[in-house]
Amino acid sequence: MRRRFLILPRRPAALAGERGSMLIELLIAMTFLAVAVGALMTIYASTQLSLRHTSIEGNALTLADKQIEVYKTLSYDNVRLDASTIPSSGTDPYVTANASDSTIPAATGQVTGGTVGASACAAPTTAQAECATQSWTGPDGRAYRVDSYIVAVTPPEGGRQVKAVTVVVRRVESGSPSAQIWARATTTIDQSNPPQ
């Protein structure tokens, strides 16, 4: 009886040393994929934060413009604040804003004489001209505080006195206004100009 042997071809030496190379290639590909997905998630998160910030800023600007428009409809004599609505607490952002930003008037020296009362400024349904601070719900459903500053200013080159109106809008967080200003608007009311 004759034995037959099956002779298998020998593997080339180069192929014998490549065992497990597919596993290494797979690990490299998964690493690149993980880095790419991480980068996409970072971009997504930063875009969400940017959109949120832009939304808050846009709504705050809308509220500031709304308040400025109220002052533009009044005669010179009626552009004033009710002194009882000006915060007296030294830690209130209305009072401390001037310390960090000199373009915002000091809480003292405001043009007063209004009689609207502090209760009318708590949550008004329409913009109130005599309220130093007002709590509003913005178009986005978030709570905002609108602060108005009115000071009498005589132009440096002489002439008639004007009333400079500055409106500052802050978000209300955890029941109290934040120090961060989201929007501001300014205008001057001249006693010789009729309301617009």
Cα–Cα dist 165/111, whole Å: 10
Q: Which of 1-15, 26-40, 117-131 has the highest mean pLDDT?
A: 26-40
pLDDT at res. 142: 87
pLDDT at res. 5: 67
Which position has the higher pLDDT, 18 or 148? 148
Q: If pLDDT is split at 50, 70 and 90, which confidence band does 138 have?
A: confident
Distances (CA, A) of 151 to 33, 69, 83, 84, 189: 60, 17, 13, 16, 10
